[in-house]
Structure 1
Amino acid sequence: MLPGKKNQILKFIDRRFGKNPMDFPDIYRCRERLNQVRILHDTFYASDENNGYAVDDVTWTDLEMDEVFLRINQTGSYIGEQVLYHILRSGNEAFFRENSQMMQALSEDERARRELFLRLYPIGKRQANYYLPEFFANAGLLRPGHTWVFRLLQAALVLTILMAAIFRTAPFYAALGINVVVNFIVYLLMKMKYDVLLSSFCGIGQVLELYEWSTRQEIPLPVGSHMKEYSGRLKKLRKKIGFLIYTKQASLTGDVTGLMFDYLMGITLTDVGRIDGILQLIDENREAVLDAFTFVGKLDAALSILSFRKSLTHWAAPVFTEGGEITAGELYHPLIKEPVSNDFTLQDRAILTGANASGKSTFMKSLAVSVILAQTIDTACCIRFSLPIVKVMTSMAIRDDVVSGESYYVREVRYLKRMLDEIARGTLTLCVIDEILKGTNQAERLAASEAVLKYLTQYQGYCMIATHDMELVEKLQKLYRPYYFESHIAQDNVSFDYKIHPGRGGESNALALLKAFGFPSEIIREANRIDGSADSLQMTARF
């Protein structure tokens, strides 16, 4: 790499390291390619979501984990993005250990970090490379069929060249000409099919080179014992890809010698054989290729996580316990720029009340997100954090689904049922539920909610529930510890302190918010009159 280019890359890296990536203009491009970022996870690991401590789609969506991913993502390569996304979803203990070791090694060696940045940066984020996981999964299917036909055409070409050279007669020259034309047509047809693979081969080659470089341990990295064996198995693949790319780059530059060589390779169908050989090697060594890609992605992800840590107000490495409480000191949400932090201990079950917009949902998300980050990237958004290993499951951001025809209530029931199934399997689970069963009438909601929440207490685990139903809080006060968030109403203003308080409280502010947002005065008066009448009726009914 030229010194000027190297310095330019280092300046770019220094400008961004330890900063919030959501403050940079390219965040929009990253948000647009989220569907491509998740291809590695969806192709090889999506089935893991039904096992262990992986984050399922419902929880991922409820907690806005796409945005959390974007907040963390400072990767320099497409594979770094894909592996970081997978790490956040996986709950894989082996991934966690290896990632923690990488971060430990890189956090202590700035020279190693900068060297690694320089080697990751050229891999880049070309759109076609995000589809490589699908390519690996189907490499065998992409091989050209009927390879015996190509061998036959190659043998015929050699034979007609020899015959034309020996006999030097018109029929043999004609046969040679026909053979050349047929081979060239076959080459052009195959070229249209496989030219798209060349950029993919380039992306594969760059990653394999970095993987091989990592095994030489020129910088201190946690290299597994299997990696040298895998690197040796991939040496032939690296060379084949390197030579194919070299010859193709020469022809693409318009160099006459390169073009002639390209056509010669085409007429002899050599390139077809090379591409088939590369696809065969990828198919036969899929495990080694995937290991190379995930290792390089982990390196990039580790650098990104170190940058994320530096960008936070404060953070803590979690302390994992065998059961017991989930305890957080000065807990906050990483997506909020000026957050209000809270100390909190979840002993087993908690029920949260409070006015609208007072911070209940955000607080529950803060805890759930930090549990996920603690178990995946060894980082929690607080000054201290202790917890057992738990599976996080939520039921929060529920909507009707017009396409599937599912109503709000049906969807909510399905979301809750998946939690009950997971708990029944014996998985230690943190259940986070916002406004349980609000998609039906009040009487049935209270009955069903009480039954579900009582059922959850039969199993070991953790629950956080937010509700506006004070009657539900009263009925469950011996089973769920109550907490509340407060709002302060002064004339036309409603303010919040966003602090969690033990006990029952948090007066309703729904009508005050109507006034604060400028609703017509006759609506406010009528609402207050109806509300007062309802209170009187309730008091009468009690006596």
Structure 2
Amino acid sequence: MFLDVSKDFIKKDLNSTKYRKRNINKINTLFKLTEKNDFTIDDQTWDDLMMNEVFYELDRTYSTEGEAALYKMLRNPIMDEEKLKERGKLIDLFKENLDLTVNLRKTFYNMIYDSKNRLLDMINDLIPVSKLKSFFYGIVGIIPILLILAAIIFKEPKIMIAVLVDIFINMYIHNKEESTINAIGLIYLRDLINTSKKLSSIKNDEIKLYTTKMKTLLNELSVLDKSTYLLKVLNSFGGLLQMFSIPFLIEESVFYRMSIKLVGKKNKILELYYLVGELDALISISLYQNDNKEKCCTPQFIKENSLKITDGIHPLLKNPVANSLEIFKKGIVLTGTNMSGKSTFLRMISTNILLAQTFNFALAHEYKGCFLNIISSISPKDDITSGKSYYLAEAESILRIIKGSEKEIPVFCPIDEIFRGTNPAERISSSAEILNYINKRNAICIVATHDRELSDILKENYDFYYFSEDVDNKNGLKFDYKLKKGISKTRNAIKLLDYIGYPKEIIQKSYRRVERMENFI
């Protein structure tokens, strides 16, 4: 049992960040169980954009359902402006209606938080269905009671030996079935149903769509509501009562009676799970926006294939440097040395597109653009298990983008160091042809590269920007992280080697070799 939390505590906790240990492989179970669409963020793009870390930054949910729904929403951007606006209205509602937000948060706080997400694990696993076991355990479970009654009625103490033997057999059955039966998952199902009842009783026209759907789903799950009540009682008081249920195989009997119903109601359970979680997730986003209100803007969506972000920042940076970019018809080539900010810039633009298309806000002064299908190629890796080289992994990664450009929604494709794993001549030739091909398709492309040779080849189809830094013996690396128009003219790699203490012979000969190579070219 739990103590009911006070509204004052919930109010004080509204602006706190949730520091808790999260298991992303459990949080993403709901996403894995549900259907994907053409614009679902794929695994590589999710990893490229460091979206697990962004998810942690946004997450202020209380419930297991809330964090699972928040994750799923981030993986499935919306390509419909009206639906996005409706979601944005709900987020604004939770920012403005403090009483409603506190009441909802209080309900979510009182839910049983399960970091292992055992309800979805139970649903996700193949639920065993056995009418024979349901009947058998029901009969076997009452035998100890009949034997005890017989011992009392006939006043025969020897019958108690049979009782002990029967209880021992039932305990053996319980231990054998323990790995199969997920009674704890049923307890969380009970908790979900109870919470849904509380939420559906809230009188508010602006969340009526949610409460009405919950009532409908609860009616369809009423048979499970009754069956899970006994398990809820048995697992109360730290599971103390559960010990007394083992000799009578109560959990086993209930589980196998419910298994057929659970299989039939799986989709309804998932729908209710997500519906409850979505409310918690939207409140989480409203709290994040309140904490960052001076950094947020409402996006403007247009039909024209273009993108404009003014003073955009990345959510993971504590002291971000804002940058602006406008893309229309031409793609973008980014140049500059390592650590100057190119990859972070690619992630900043991509993450803001995703936030705009999931929760109707961006971390920028202004956001204006069309709907975009985000497919990235920032950090593909060698796959030792499949024998794939880095080059093959990147080639397959770029092919995802080319296929994405054939769809109705324009693809936004941030690419970092295209084909860095192959020789210069082939890299530059193939990169130029691929980038020109993508730019002619339904796409907005930003590519970061060290290959300045691409500039002459791509100048008709791409605009050029760069990041720069200084290296000197006194101050070391100095970055301003500001985007600049044009092509980077600096080569600071050798300066960096000199700064960290490489032998002078290496430094001097490196400079001479670069000079000869440039004169040859």
1:39 equivalent to 2:29? Answer yes
| Alignment partner, residue 502 of structure 2 | 519
C-alpha contact 2:122 2:182 (8 A) present in aligned 1: no
Change (3 A) 1:164 1:338: closer
| Alignment partner, residue 327 of structure 2 | 346
| Alignment partner, residue 541 of structure 1 | none
C-alpha contact 2:299 2:360 (8 A) present in aligned 1: yes
| Alignment partner, residue 103 of structure 1 | 91
Q: Structure 1 residues 529-538 or 93-102, which shifts more? A: 93-102
Change (3 A) 1:483 1:268: closer
| Alignment partner, residue 113 of structure 2 | 125
Alignment of 1:310-389 (within 5 A): 310-312=290-292, 314-348=295-329, 349-389=331-371
User: How far 1:442 moved relative to its partner?
Assistant: 0.6
Change (3 A) 1:266 1:469: closer
What CA distance in whole angstroms lies between the structure 2 residues aligned with 1:158 and 1:402? Answer: 60
User: How far 1:236 moved relative to its partner?
Assistant: 3.4
Q: Structure 1 residues 310-319 or 293-302, which shifts more? A: 310-319
User: How far 1:169 moved relative to its partner?
Assistant: 10
| Alignment partner, residue 43 of structure 2 | 57
1:350-374: CA deviation from partner (whole Å, max 9, x where unpaired)? 1111233222221111101111111
Count of residue pairs brought into register by the alignment: 513
C-alpha contact 2:61 2:284 (8 A) present in aligned 1: yes
1:267-294: CA deviation from partner (whole Å, max 9, x where unpaired)? 5544433222333332222222111110
Alignment of 1:147-162 (within 5 A): 147-151=134-138, 153=140
| Alignment partner, residue 222 of structure 2 | 235
C-alpha contact 1:390 1:430 (8 A) present in aligned 2: yes
C-alpha contact 2:95 2:287 (8 A) present in aligned 1: no
User: How far 1:426 moved relative to its partner?
Assistant: 4.4
Alignment of 1:158-177 (within 5 A): none
TM-score, normalized by length of structure 2?
0.88
Change (3 A) 1:144 1:323: farther
What CA distance in whole angstroms lies between the structure 2 residues aligned with 1:9 and 1:239? Answer: 33
3-state SS, counterpart of residue 391 of structure 2: helix
User: How far 1:448 moved relative to its partner?
Assistant: 0.8
3-state SS, counterpart of residue 140 of structure 1: coil
1:297 to 277, 280, 286: 277
1:83 equivalent to 2:83? Answer no
| Alignment partner, residue 10 of structure 2 | 10
Q: Percent identity?
A: 25
Across the aligned residues of Structure 1 and Structure 2, the Cα RMSD in angstroms comes to 3.2
User: How far 1:63 moved relative to its partner?
Assistant: 1.0
| Alignment partner, residue 185 of structure 1 | 169
3-state SS, counterpart of residue 424 of structure 1: coil
**1:503 partner letter:** G
C-alpha contact 1:101 1:222 (8 A) present in aligned 2: no
**2:231 partner letter:** L
| Alignment partner, residue 187 of structure 2 | 202
Change (3 A) 1:351 1:393: same
What CA distance in whole angstroms lies between the structure 1 residues aligned with 2:317 and 2:138? Answer: 63
**1:121 partner letter:** Y
Q: Structure 1 residues 391-400 or 330-339, which shifts more? A: 391-400
C-alpha contact 1:54 1:92 (8 A) present in aligned 2: no
**1:526 partner letter:** K
**1:516 partner letter:** Y
Change (3 A) 1:494 1:268: closer
What CA distance in whole angstroms lies between the structure 1 residues aligned with 2:195 and 2:5? Answer: 19
What CA distance in whole angstroms lies between the structure 2 residues aligned with 1:243 and 1:163? Answer: 27
**1:235 partner letter:** S
1:121-174: CA deviation from partner (whole Å, max 9, x where unpaired)? 23243333x1322311346326675334335546878998999999x598xx98
**2:283 partner letter:** L
User: How far 1:536 moved relative to its partner?
Assistant: 2.2
TM-score, normalized by length of structure 1?
0.84
Change (3 A) 1:80 1:506: farther
**1:236 partner letter:** V
User: How far 1:221 moved relative to its partner?
Assistant: 2.1
C-alpha contact 1:198 1:245 (8 A) present in aligned 2: no
What CA distance in whole angstroms lies between the structure 1 residues aligned with 2:9 and 2:185? Answer: 24
C-alpha contact 1:88 1:372 (8 A) present in aligned 2: yes
What CA distance in whole angstroms lies between the structure 1 residues aligned with 2:251 and 2:24? Answer: 35
**2:57 partner letter:** R
3-state SS, counterpart of residue 382 of structure 2: coil
Change (3 A) 1:273 1:419: same
Change (3 A) 1:252 1:402: closer
Alignment of 1:243-322 (within 5 A): 243-249=230-236, 252-253=239-240, 263=244, 269-312=249-292, 314-322=295-303
What CA distance in whole angstroms lies between the structure 2 residues aligned with 1:8 and 1:140? Answer: 42
Q: Structure 1 residues 192-201 or 395-404, which shifts more? A: 192-201
2:455 to 473, 487, 490: 473
C-alpha contact 2:66 2:279 (8 A) present in aligned 1: yes
